Amino acid sequence: WLIEHLCLLLRFASRRTSQSSCSARAFDTKKTRLQALPGLGHQVWQTGAMAPPVKTKLKAAHALLQQGSFTEALNACEELLKATGPSYEALLIAGKAAFGLKQFEQAHKAYQKAAEINDDVAPAWQGLAQLAEASNDYELAVAANEHLVKIFGRSSDTKARSMDCQAKLLALHEEAGQYSPAAAVAQALMEHYEADKTQHLHYL
């Protein structure tokens, strides 16, 4: 089924290359839903050594987050950021807490700053992808998932997750009427699938 679908998409996209590109429209979450991304807590403590008091405060803020005390978690992270300066871990928790409070602009700022500190790890980009779903932000969803494709594609252990993000990109582009980038993603998926059919049988 996947091969037939991708081939049809590629043929359709090739017929539209002479036409002007369709303007991107907000995707309908009733039709296309980005799956909620995995929790970020287990990755919070893996980005570097920290002084014991800072680590203790981060763990306390994370505990508040896990309890659903989003306001308290956000306040704790803001105080820590004022005292210590930019911190990937604190920004990550702040983004998650702000998201829980539906303060999407603040969540976006926190995740974006975290990604600027370290754009080679997934958590901040996962947060941005999750935020894009909630705010119907096509451009943000595309940017976040494209970055996750690269991050997860670096290791054979996370190759399937990279393909999951490519599948999301394909759906996003199709829903937005962006058939040229959709065709490019479809081509990449076909190449990955053909390279290792056994590993990716779950896409059939």
Q: What is the pLDDT of residues 47-69, one digit of tens each?
A: 444 555 888 999 999 999 999 99
Label residue 156 by pLDDT band (50, 70, 90): confident
Higher per-residue confidence, 203 vs 95 = 95
* Across 28-37, 41-50, 77-86, 129-138, least confident range: 28-37
* Closest by Cα among 46, 6, 47, 56 to 182: 6
Tokens of 78: 């803001």
Share of the chain above pLDDT 70, in %: 70
Q: Tell me: pLDDT of 116 over 60.
A: yes
Residue 2 has pLDDT above 90, yes or no: no
State the Cα–Cα distance between residues 39 and 7, nearest whole angstrom: 35
Angle, vertex CA 152, rays to CA 109 and CA 159, nearest 5: 155
Neighbours of 90 (CB within 10 A): 28
Q: Inform me whether the pLDDT recorded for 130 exceeds 90.
A: yes
Judge contact between 89 and 101, C-beta under 8 A.
no
Which among 143, 182, 145 is positioned nearest to 164, based on CA atoms?
A: 145
Residue 23 pLDDT exceeds 80: no
Mean pLDDT of the region 32-38: 34
Q: What average pLDDT does the chain have? A: 79
127-161 core/surface letters (b: 16 or more CB in 10 A; e: else): bbbbbbbebebbebbbbbbebbbebbbeeeeebeb
Give the max Cα distance, the chain: 61
Q: pLDDT at residue 26 above 50?
A: no
Q: Which pLDDT belongs to residue 189? A: 86
